[in-house]
Amino acid sequence: MTRPCGRYSEKQISRFVDGALSRQALEQIRQHLDTCSACRDLADQFREVTKTFDELAAQPGRAIDPNRLYRTMLEMEEKPAGSRTGGFFSRRFRPLLAAASVAALVIIGGIALIDNTIRPDSPSAIVTSIDTEYTAVMIFETPDTHHTIIWYSDT
């Protein structure tokens, strides 16, 4: 992995890629990436991992290929990343980090795939978004049949 320049942490760059920052912070990092190649490379690498994972997770019924994920990680490792120094991301810990990342992705992907398969105890409907002007919205699931109920009060 490329290391960020120091102005922003890896966590912040990762959150930027995920869009999980305030609008102001997103804009600041976006401007920073225009001029900082190290952070830009890191953001590209995070995007590559996300893209690979999304591609695999978007195929219901097909198992995640850990080898492919591992290959992606290795390819990223081989990209020129400027000077590398010590710390957790040093060469010594990289195989460990890669293995841990693959394991985490496989676990997360496995959970996502399991959720997509037809299990008798999964809810009849998964609510992915709700948008309403009413403030009182509740989601229930009946205990036996796992029937999903969305309830809103329009008063």
Partner 1 sequence: MYSFIRLARLTVIAAWVIWCGCPAQTAAAQNQVVTHVKVIQASTQTRTVDPALRQIVPELEKVFRYTGYTLLQEKTLSLAFQQPGRILLPDSRTLVLTPTSSQGGRIQYDIQILNRKDAVFQTRVLLKNKRSMTIGGPRSDHGVLLFHITGSLP
Segment interacting with partner 1, rule: CB under 8 A, options 7-15, 46-54, 95-103, 125-133: 125-133
What is the per-residue binding string for partner 1 in 35-74, x denoting contact by CB under 8 A?
Answer: -----------------------x-xx-------------
How many C-beta atoms surround the C-beta of residue 103 within 10 A?
12
Please measure the distance between the N-terminal and C-terminal CA atoms of the chain and give it in whole angstroms. 53
| 78: CB partners within 8 A, 6+ apart | none
Round to whole Å and give the CA distance between 46 and 15. 10
Q: Which is nearer to partner 1, 60 or 95 (CB)?
A: 60
Q: Which of 35, 64, 125, 135 binds partner 1 (CB under 8 A)?
A: 125
- Does 111 bind partner 1 (CB under 8 A)? Our answer is no
| 108: CB partners within 8 A, 6+ apart | 53
- Provide the minimum distance between the beta carbon of 136 and partner 1 in the complex, in angstroms, as a whole number: 8
- Does 135 bind partner 1 (CB under 8 A)? Our answer is no
Q: Which is nearer to partner 1, 88 or 140 (CB)?
A: 140
Structure tokens belonging to residue 85: 């120094």
- Does 110 bind partner 1 (CB under 8 A)? Our answer is no
- Does 85 bind partner 1 (CB under 8 A)? Our answer is no
Phi and psi, residue 113, nearest 5°: -70, -40
Phi and psi, residue 129, nearest 5°: -160, 150
**H or E stretch at 137:** strand 137-141
Residues that bind partner 1 (CB under 8 A): 58, 60-61, 113, 116-118, 122, 124-134, 140, 142-145, 147-155
